[in-house]
Amino acid sequence: MSKEKTFEILKSVQEGALSVEDAILKLRMQPFEDLGYAKPDHHRALRQGIPEIIYGEGKTAEQITGIANAFLDKGQPLILTTRLLPEVAAAVQKNIPTLKYYELARVGIIGEIPAPNGIGKIVIATGGTCDLPVAEEAALTAEALGNEVIRVYDVGIAGLHRLLARLDVIMSARAIVAVAGMEGALPSVIGGLVDCPVIAVPVSVGYGASFHGLSALLTMLNSCASGVSVVNIDNGFGAGYLASMKNHQ
Q: pLDDT tens digits for 128-160? A: 999 999 999 999 999 999 999 999 999 988 889
Give me the chain's average pLDDT, please. 90
User: pLDDT tens, 153-196?
Assistant: 999 888 899 999 899 999 999 999 999 999 889 999 999 999 99
**Domain 121-247, second-level architecture:** 3-Layer(aba) Sandwich (3.40)
Give 119-162 as a DSSP string: SSEEEEEESSGGGHHHHHHHHHHHHHTT-EEEEE-S--GGGHHH
Q: What residue ranges in 41-143 does DSSP mark as E strands?
A: 54-55, 79-82, 99-102, 107-110, 121-126
User: pLDDT tens, 197-222?
Assistant: 999 999 998 899 899 999 999 999 99
Burial track 218-234 (b if 16+ CB lie within 10 A, e otherwise): ebbeebebebbbbbebb
The contacts of residue 11 (CB under 8 Å, 6+ apart) are: none
User: pLDDT tens, 3-34?
Assistant: 667 777 778 888 888 888 777 666 665 577 67
Domain spans, the chain = 1-30, 33-110, 121-247
Rounded CA-CA distance 196/166 in Å is 16
Q: What is the value of pTM for the model shown? A: 0.85
User: pLDDT tens, 99-120?
Assistant: 999 999 999 999 999 999 999 9
Element spanning 178, H or E: strand 175-180
Instruction: State the pLDDT confidence band at 121, using cuts at 50, 70 and 90.
Output: very high
Average pLDDT over residues 47-66: 89
